[in-house]
Amino acid sequence: MKFIVSSSALLKKLQVLSGVINATNTIPVLDHFLFDLDSSSLTITSSDLETTMVSSIEVDSTSKGSLAIPSKLLIDTLKTFPDQPLTFTAEENNIIEINSNHGKYTLAYADGEQFPKAISLDNPSTATVSSTVLLKAINSTIFAAGNDDLRPVMSGVFFQLSKENSIFVATDAHKLVKYTRSDVSASELAEFIMPKKPLNLLKTIIDKDFQVTIEYNNSNAKFILENMTIVCRLIDGNYPNYEAVIPNENPNVLTIDRTQFLNSLKRVSIFSNKTTHQVRLKLAGAELNVSAEDIDFSNKAEERLTCDYKGEDIEIGFNSRFIIEMLNNMESDEIRLEMSLPNRAGILKPVSGYDKGEEITMLVMPVMLNS
C-alpha cells in the first residue's frame, strides 16, 4: 500500500476528523484514524463508537489497502511540515514510512480490520435541509441542552420534522429553547434526540450553504454533507412534552433594546450571590429596575432602564446566567419578555432580525425572591 498526498490538505482533513476522538478510549484502536485506500481515493474514518466521521481525499496511488494510524502522532507530525507532497508506504512488521522533502519517518500502524465497522442504517427515513438552516437551528438551541447524566433525554437537541414545519428543542429543566422553521419540512413525521457531540462537530464543519441529507431510523442518524459523513447513535427515550410548559397567557410584556438589557445584566450580575446568580427585575410604568445583592459580602448593584412595558407592576427574579446566555444567542435588536406571575416562567422572543418562516421562543424559569 503506497500513496502520495499533500501534507496541508491531509492535515486540514484530519483536524476536522480528530474532533470525534476521545482523550481516553477503552479500545486502543479508537485512538487511530482508519485509512482505506482504493486507487486514487483515500477514505479516512474516526470514531468513538457513538459517533463516526468519514471523509475522503484524492491521492496519487494505484494500490489498495486498509490500516489504522495513531491520530495524535500523525497530526503532530503533519503540523510541522510546510505544504509539500508526502509519500506514505506500508512496510512489513506493521510499520508505515512517511517520506518528505527533508527526511523519512516511521511509525507503527494497526491492522484496519481491528477498526470498528461503521453503522449502516436499514431502510432509513430521509430529510433534506439547507446547511445554513441546520447551523442556525443548532446555534439557537444547543446551549440550552442539559448535562445531567440521570436525564439523558435532556442532554441533546430534539428534532421534530414534519410535513408542515421543522422544530428543534433543547431544555435542561431551567431554560428551554424552541426554534421553528415553517420553510423546512420532511416527507413524513420524524422525531429523534441528537446528542450534543455530533451537533458541535457539524457546527465546526459547516462554513457555506449546501444541502445536507439526513437519514435516520429509531436508533441512528446519518448526516451526509458535501465531503463528509457523520453517523451517530441517537439518545434513547421520550422527550418531555415541551408544549405543556410554555405558558400561553402572558399579559405583562416588556419590550427593550437587547444590547442595553444584556449589558445591564452583565454589570449587575457581578454583584449577585455566587450560588444563585439571582437578579431582580422590577417593572412599573416605563421603567425597569435591575438589581442584585449578595448579603454575605454586602455587595449590591442597581440600575434603572427606560423601556416599553404593558401590564401590571411586577417583581420577578431570574438566574442572570440563563438570561445572559439567551440574549447572547439572539440576533434581534429588540426583545420581548412576556410574563404572567412572579412564580411562572418568563418567555423571551425577538422583535425582529429573523427571516419569514423562522420563529424562536426561549423560556426561563424564575427563582424565588428573598423578601
Burial class (CB in 10 A: 0-12, 13-18, 19+), 216: buried
| Digitized pLDDT (tens) for each residue of the chain, 371 residues in all | 999 999 999 999 999 999 999 999 989 999 999 999 999 999 999 999 999 999 999 999 999 999 999 999 999 999 999 999 999 999 989 999 999 998 999 999 999 999 999 888 988 888 888 999 999 999 999 999 999 888 999 999 999 998 889 999 999 999 999 999 988 877 788 899 999 999 999 999 998 999 999 999 989 999 999 989 999 999 999 999 999 999 999 999 999 999 999 999 999 999 999 999 999 999 999 999 999 999 999 999 999 999 999 999 999 999 999 999 999 999 899 999 999 999 999 999 999 878 888 999 999 999 988 75
What residues have CB less than 8 Å from 302, skipping those under 6 apart?
268, 289, 290, 291
Separation between Cα atoms, residue 203 and residue 180, nearest integer Å: 18
Say how many CA atoms lie within 13 Å of 66 toward its Cβ: 11
Q: 191 in helix, strand or coil?
A: strand
SS3 30: helix
pLDDT in tens, 89-122: 999 899 999 999 989 999 999 999 999 998 889 8
Nearest alpha carbon to residue 339 among 306, 303, 307, 315: 315
Domains observed in the chain: 2-114 (3.10.150.10), 125-242 (3.10.150.10), 246-367 (3.10.150.10)
Please give the full DSSP string across 253-293, using - where no structure is assigned: EEEEEHHHHHHHHHHHHTTS-TTT-EEEEEEETTEEEEEEE
Q: Please give the angle made by the CA atoms of 362, 365 and 368, to the nearest 5 degrees.
A: 155
Give the three cell numbers for residue 359. Answer: 420563529
Residue 342: exposed, middle, or buried by beta-carbon count in 10 A (0-12, 13-18, 19+)?
middle
pTM here?
Answer: 0.91
Asked if 260 contacts 305 with a C-beta cutoff of 8 angstroms, the reply is yes
pLDDT tens digits, one per residue of 314-342: 999 999 999 999 999 998 999 999 999 99
Task: Give the closest residue to 229 by CA, choosing from 217, 209, 215, 243.
Answer: 215
